[in-house]
Amino acid sequence: MTNDTASDILTLWGMASNLGSDQTDIYTLSMSYDPHGVKQAVLQSGLFGLATKDANGSWINAVAKNFGGTVKFVLGPWNLNYGLGTYGVDTSTNTAWAVINYNSDFAVTLVGDGNH
């Protein structure tokens, strides 16, 4: 973990189907997080979850960098029927997850709402 994340950082590469592209098939990534110091209201707000870094090096909502999809927050576990852009926090297992379609670095931390 780093000072600004509630999880370790995962680097995920090599899933793109076309050489030179960051776009991948759609998949769900789930990462565990340390719940200490994270208030329940923040967990339920949609402002905490799976994140990736933007061009400026700031953590942003992981679904914000998807190729398409509709941003939707869910408080609870992942479900097979969730589409691209759905993200959530499962407080019963201390995991954050997102339905995404690209390679990147990921961590669990405070994020935006996926619209910026």
> What pLDDT is stored for residue 2 in this prediction?
52
Confidence band (pLDDT; 50, 70, 90) for 112?
Answer: low
- Extents of the domains making up the chain: 10-110
Q: pLDDT of 63-97, one tens digit each?
A: 999 999 999 999 999 999 999 999 999 999 999 99
pTM: 0.91
Average pLDDT over residues 51-60: 93
Q: Say which range, 15-19, 96-100, 111-115, has the weakest mean pLDDT.
A: 111-115
Q: Which residue has the higher pLDDT, 16 or 29?
A: 29
Q: CA–CA separation, 51 vs 62, rounded Å? A: 4
